[in-house]
Amino acid sequence: MHRKNKTIIVLGIVAFVAFACPNLLAQDMPDSAAVDLTLDSIAVLDDVQVATGPAPARLDIVRDAEGDQGSSVTLTWHLSPDDGSGADNVTGYEIFRAESPEGEFESVGTASKGMSQFEDATTTDGVTYYYYVAAFSDAGSTPSEISAGVRSSPQWFNSKDANTLVIGLIICLSVIYFIFHAQKGKKFFLRKIAGLEAVDEAIGRATEMGRPILFIPGIMDMDDVQTVAGITILGRIARTIADYDTKLNMPVSRSIVMTTARETIKQAYVAAGRPDAFSDDMVHYLTDEQFGYVAAVDGIMVREKPATCFYLGAFYAESLIMAETGNSIGAIQIAGTAMPAQLPFFVAACDYTLIGEELFAASAYLSGEPKQLGSLKGQDVGKIIAMVVILILCGLFTLAAITGSADILELGNTLQGWFSAS
Amino acid sequence: MNGKQAASYVVLAIVIVAFAVSIVLKGLLVTVGAFLTLFIFSFLYKDNPYYKFAEHLFVGVSAAYWMCMGFWGTMVPNLFGKLYPPMVGPVMPALKDNAAEPFMLIPLILGILLLLRLSSSVGWISRWALAFIVGTTAGLNLIRYLRSDFIQQINNTTFSLYATGATGFNLGETLSNIAIFVSVMTGLIYFFFSKEHKGAFGVGARTGIIVLMVTFGASFGYTVMARISLLVGRMQFLFGDWLGMMQ
Amino acid sequence: MSNGTEQKSIVERLQFIDRRIIFVFIGLAVVIPLLFGVSLEEETTPIVQRLFDFVDALPEESRVLLSFDYGPTTAPEIQPMMDAILRQCAERKAKLYMMAVWATGHNLTGETIAKILNPEYPEYQYGIDYVNLGYKAGNQGLIRLLYVDFKRMYSTDAAGTAIDSIPMMENINSLKNFDLIISFGGGFPGIKEWILYAGDPGKIPVGGGCTAVSAPLLYPYYPNQLVGLLGGAKGAAEYEAALLKAYPKFRGRKMAGMSLMMSQTVAHLVIMLFILFGNTLYFLLRASGKGRS
Amino acid sequence: MRRTVPLFITFIVGTVLVLAEFIPHKPFGNLGDDFSLYFDIIAVFAFLLGGGNLIRVHVTKIKRKRKDWIFSIVTLGGFLVMLAAGLLKIGNPGGIQGDVAVIGSLFSDLYMFIFTPLQASMFALLAFFVGSASYRAFRAKNKEATILLIAAFVILLGRTPLGLWVTGGLQDTSLAFLQIPNLANWIMDVPNLAGQRAIMIGIALGVISMSLRVILGVERTYLGQDND
């Protein structure tokens, strides 16, 4: 037990260092596809001054947009001296583009005053473009110098996202590592989750009372991962229900969920050796409309009086309507969702609630398969990474605030920059 | 039994008369809206035929509503309009000159595979479509959640615990920062699966539960308000638009 | 729940008071203030004020995208926010781009234009100062596509006019061309998706107006990923208060959010009384040794 | 064929989509969006299954004169009328080319005058249920429930003028932070925010691990058990 914890912590620290390193390296490697332009290479255009317009802006960098799918050039400029100060008459900037410095320039867009960046997302890859930006006011407009040629191109790797990739890899690899580890017969300790302990009892109760079990997989479609979680739990529960020979009623609000759930339940019944007991009618579609669905589910509840209700998936406002109605008919209710806003209602009105992450862990718990359980341990590594990063960075920032040291602050900011999503 | 039946006929008669009077006084549309509202509210008393009527009507109308929206909003412009634009010319002329996108054959084929579910002999083929759907969900969500809910939420939790304001050290803010720090940490500890909640770890986990309970209580309290405003909207309709009792 | 044979004390029976009695009280609490038409002015909290200040600091002709991501069900809560922000934007002479990622938002867009924008700001011209782009399906995918290529999804406006013939759409190629995006709505897709698929990747300022339910889970995005947030009727009432303070010309007009607050307040008090009542009973029972723990 | 192919499809689709997030180059850059679009289209196909199921269930009910069969006629009637109104764009001012939900069409009228009041009323039921749930749930039964109760109560109080009135005396004292509205805001901004974050981080890990299990084929329940 003790050794293993150490392993996890070490892994966490290694992870933290590992994600930091590639970023350190990435800092020094400019994007090879980018064409940086400094002011030296910008031709000066001095014959188009408009006396009445504002002072011109100064083009700073014109280059291919980084880590994108091409067709995009980024321009940045220094604001016109008359923007926000001076004559303060700039109303905006207009960006012009041509395929040769002498060519016919056409407008590709405008930016509001105070803005110093523009992304031209309408370029054709491989074509060389020349740009200038014109500061305009009611009186007229003043162009900047024309930039040197720039070409847009798509990149094969989104360098801006390198840290996401590394962090993702570490978490995924630790999950995979523990899956394999568990498969080799390694036993893990897993804490109890009250809602899951109660599943068998809840199904048994319905059997004794001779009343049906209601299963609600949320109101979202299969493109929500919570629905997928709900359906995988259904697969485990259906097996028990088939064994107990209890009636299952599953109204759904999405047709694809209906198809998937039927497939899942059918196979559970086959596995239980009771394929004859399965019927497509166990799962029926009502409507895609959230409240139409809940109106009908409420009707089913008060008329059929299920002994047990499962609510596992993605829920919105309907959660409380269902849970309160279920409560009024005296059903045992087990809920689970990763919708933070609905958790309080389930906690208040249901007997057991799987909170957030527990929903995704539930199918692994119920399966009892070592490899599934192993993945849960992998998740814990993720939590350790989270805690270590928060600890280190809060520590650095606090230290910087107390000592007033700019170096520590700098270090903290750099690290924080690496651990950021965009 | 007979008395009960008689009572229900009386109620029905009253509803019909009231409905008729309301149509004469207020017009058909407001009347329909008002009565459907009352039918739904009657569920609060108990299940009854009027609620059943509203419920069944709602299911039928809304199922068709979403189908029509799906057909005209997705199927026509995004499938047929992309597969073979001239085909949708008569209904959506704006699209007919677009270039065809042959890749849209993929969803067409997958959609048809899904429909094969209806056949008992090749029904298993629908699993291919399901596999595609679930694979897409898994692939897309993995990175999305990693980015926005994992990395970014951690990033948001990295700050100096020691807070200073215009007048120097700020005790209140410092305490709040420490509270956030401790709460996030203990909240995470609660979710640990592979470690028993004992000893110091157990203290952390129990603190975590307290944090979660405060969170749930706060959300619940906050929500009470939202739920009531929905009722206010309905009451405004009933007493204002329908009965005309509000200024 | 059922009346057993054993005699139960009054306290014990009140414990399981019929919930229909609670329903009656809540109904009355909402209706009575409505019939008397009183309203409540709120003090503006920072998370609301920040959005207000941001909008107020927008230069003229800034491009503001208003996304109607709600339906009639949440309109009582959200519409007051929309009205207040719309008025402020119009005062700031912003260019208004209206769209919806909710199918139900489409009808509300038309209603809002007809009820607020056209009568109060007759100088606002369609196609030049505001545009109604309508609803498109695709949820978060739509937002992502709009970020990459706006006109690929919106090839026409809601009325079917070709997008290139609308003057104010000329320079809109991506969501990045907007100075501010405000999403109104609490559900999915909504503010969260706007943050994840537009605000975060493009560093575009995103503001939100949502139901009180979704507000707590959007809090974590403030202030880094979200300019400001209006939560529920209270948020709306606070925004209205800020508006009244900055633009006294609106004084004397009926503010929907504020009148909503009165009914809510009374209903709140009723619910709190019930909670106190329930707990008192509970402790009385426990004291007499009959309570369950 | 029945199991291996689907597992293979899931693996390939999942892996490619994960990688595509990091490859802006064509054809990977748009893959996520394209696949989401595909999903929407498949979902519309599935409507046929759903609608067919709806019709079948209710027709059977009517035929066999099961309990409440008369209401099945209401469902079917509403369904067919709305479907016809929408698909054929009956009464649409723009004819078959008009926007399906344009104001003035039968579809839009049915939506506004039947669908909307039903939807809004159903939603409004929540006000009543939230009341009964609070009454029942907010009891100081144990430590956790007590904390839940206190947090909820402070927030509720902070949202009403009563909160200010009760603790108004603290204004301008060093204990001003204990004023109920301030305390309510603090609970929202500090413990609530922290709790939501912890939940979100946990959920993200749950989703990552779950997605990974699905992509790797470790979790395959959704395809049915291992029997054929």
pLDDT at residue A309 above 80? yes
Evaluate if residue A51 carries a pLDDT over 80.
Answer: no
Strand partners, A61: A76
Distance in angstroms (rounded) separating the CA atoms of residues D184 and D177: 10
Length of chain A: 422
Strand, helix or coil for residue A88? coil
The DSSP secondary-structure symbol of A21 reads: H
Q: Give the C window 67-106 contacts with A, CB below 8 Å.
A: 73
| Stronger pLDDT, A51 or A213, i.e. the higher one | A213
Q: Is beta strand C206-210 parallel, antiparallel or unpaired with respect to A150-151?
A: unpaired
User: A10 with A3: CB under 8 angstroms?
Assistant: no
Question: CB of C113 within 8 A of CB of C145?
Answer: no
If DSSP codes are grouped into helix, strand and coil, which group holds residue D218? coil
Find chain C residues with C-beta within 8 A of A316's C-beta. Answer: 187-188
pLDDT above 90 covers a percentage of chain C that reads 30
pLDDT in tens, C118-129: 999 999 999 999
Q: A40, A151, A60, A145: which is closest to A96 by C-alpha?
A: A145
Q: Is any Cβ of chain B less than 8 angstroms from the Cβ of D28? A: no
**pLDDT score, position A341:** 84
* DSSP H helical ranges for A251-350: 255-271, 290-304, 318-328, 343-349
Among the listed ranges A230-239, C39-48, C86-95, C207-216, which one has the minimum average pLDDT value? C39-48
Instruction: Find the CB nearest A228 among D18, D42, D222.
Output: D222
CB proximity A379 to B under 8 Å: yes
Q: How many angstroms separate the first and last alpha carbons of chain B?
A: 45
d(CA B83, CA B105): 7
Contact list in C for residue A328 (CB cut-off 8 A) is: 19
Does A383 contact D at CB distance below 8 Å? yes
Contact D78 B138 (CB under 8 A): no
Which pLDDT band, with edges at 50, 70 and 90, does C291 fall under? very low
- pLDDT on residue A213: 97
**Is C201–A92 a contact, with Cβ atoms under 8 angstroms apart?**
no
C162 touches chain B (CB under 8 A): yes
Is the model's pLDDT at A226 over the cut of 90?
yes
CB contact under 8 A, B246 and C37: yes
Among A27, B32, A341, which residue's Cα sits nearest to residue C219?
A341
Touching subunits of A (3+ CB pairs, under 8 Å) are: B, C, D
> D19-40 pLDDT, tens per residue?
888 888 877 877 887 888 888 8
**ipTM score for this prediction:** 0.84
* Residue with the larger pLDDT of the pair A42 and C213: C213
Q: Is the pLDDT of residue A195 over 70?
A: yes
As a whole number of angstroms, the distance between CA B228 and CA B226 comes to 5
The pLDDT value given to residue C7:
57
- First-to-last C-alpha distance (Å) of chain D: 10
Question: Helix, strand or coil for residue C210?
Answer: strand
D68: left (phi over 0), alpha (psi -120 to 50) or beta: left
Average pLDDT rounded to a whole number, residues C6-21: 72
**A46 has pLDDT over 80:** no
Interface of A with C (CB under 8 A): 69, 91-92, 107-110, 112-115, 119, 121-122, 220, 291, 316-317, 328, 330, 340-341, 421-422
For the stretch D96-105, contacts whose Cβ atoms lie closer than 8 Å and that sit 24 or more positions apart, written own/partner, are: D96/B90, D96/B91, D97/B90, D97/B91, D97/B92, D97/B93, D97/C160, D99/C134, D99/C158, D99/C159, D99/C160, D100/B68, D100/B69, D100/B72, D100/B73, D101/B69, D101/C103, D101/C106, D101/C107, D103/C107, D103/C110
Residues in chain B with CB shorter than 8 Å from the CB of A348 are 216, 220
The confidence score (pLDDT) of residue A8 equals 54
User: Nearest Cβ partner of B58 from A292, A340, A345?
Assistant: A292
pLDDT of D160 > 50? The answer is yes
Q: Would the CA dihedral through C149, C153, C158, C159 be positive or negative?
A: positive
Q: Is the predicted pLDDT of residue D207 greater than 90, yes or no? A: yes
Are the C-beta atoms of B61 and D82 separated by less than 8 Å? yes
pLDDT, position D27: 77
Question: What residues of A are in contact with residue B62 (Cβ under 8 Å)?
Answer: 287-289, 291-292
- The answer to whether the CB of A114 falls within 8 A of the CB of A82 is no
Question: pLDDT class for C1, splitting at 50, 70, 90?
Answer: very low
Q: Which residue of B has its CA nearest to D27?
A: B103
Nearest CA in chain A to D227: A271
Q: Mean of the pLDDT values across residues C105-134?
A: 89
Mean pLDDT, chain A, rounded, equals 84
The type of residue at A269 is: Y
Smallest CA-to-CA distance from C75 within A290, B51, D119 is with D119
Cβ partners under 8 Å of residue A70, min gap 6: A125, A152, A153, A154, A155, D24, D25, D26
Query: For the sheet containing C63-68, what is the strand order?
Result: C130-135, C95-100, C63-68, C180-184, C206-210, C229-231
pLDDT of residue C196 exceeding 60, the answer is yes
Picking from C139, C155, C188, C172, the residue whose alpha carbon sits closest to that of residue C64 is C172
Q: Please, are residues B138 and D14 in contact by the beta-carbon 8 Å criterion?
A: yes
B166 touches chain D (CB under 8 A): no
Q: Amino acid identity, residue A93?
A: Y
CB distance D135–C278 less than 8 Å?
A: yes
Closest CA of chain A from C121, distance in Å: 22
Q: What does the pLDDT look like over D51-76, one tens digit per residue?
A: 999 999 999 999 999 888 999 999 99
From B32, B44, B70, residue closest to D125, measured CB to CB: B44
Mark the ranges of chain B whose per-residue pLDDT is less than 70: 1, 247
Name the residue of chain C whose CA is nearest to A115's CA: C179
Q: How far is CA C222 from CA A391, A403, C52, C225, C234, in A?
A: 21, 28, 14, 6, 18
Q: Which residue of C has its CA nearest to A83?
A: C59
Q: Which amino acid is at B121?
A: S
Number of A:B CB contacts under 8 A? 189
For the ranges A82-96, B229-243, C260-274, D103-117, which has the lowest average pLDDT? Answer: A82-96
> Does the pLDDT value for residue A17 go beyond 60?
no
Q: Identify which has the larger pLDDT, C68 or A70.
A: C68
Q: Which residues of B touch C225 (CB under 8 A)?
A: 152
- Sort strands B168-169 and B164-165 into parallel, antiparallel or unpaired: antiparallel
Determine the average pLDDT of the residues in D142-168: 83
Amino acid making up residue A258: M
Kindly report the nearest CA distance between residue A378 and chain C, in angstroms: 26
Token output for C211: 């139901």
Of C110, C265, C275, the CB nearest to D138: C275
Cβ–Cβ contacts within 10 Å for residue D133, how many?
25
Of D96, D121, D204, the CB nearest to B234: D121
CA dihedral (D89, D93, D99, D100) positive or negative: negative
What average pLDDT does this structure show over A234-246? 93
Residue D91 DSSP code = T
pLDDT at B135: 93
**Greater model confidence, C254 or B212:** B212
Q: Which of C74, C149, C264, C268 to mutate to test the interface with B (most CBs of B within 10 A)?
A: C264
CA distance B140 to B149: 14
Q: Which of C73, C275, C277 sits opposite D120 (nearest CB)?
A: C73
Judged by CB atoms closer than 8 Å, whether chains meet at C279 and D138 is answered as: yes
Q: C263 and B152 in contact by Cβ < 8 A?
A: no
Which is more confident, A63 or D88? Answer: D88
> What is the C-alpha to C-alpha distance for residues C126 and C249, in angstroms, rounded to an integer?
25
Q: For the residues C141-162, what does the mean pLDDT come to?
A: 81
* pLDDT surpasses 70 at D224: no
Collapsing DSSP to helix, strand or coil, A128 comes out as strand
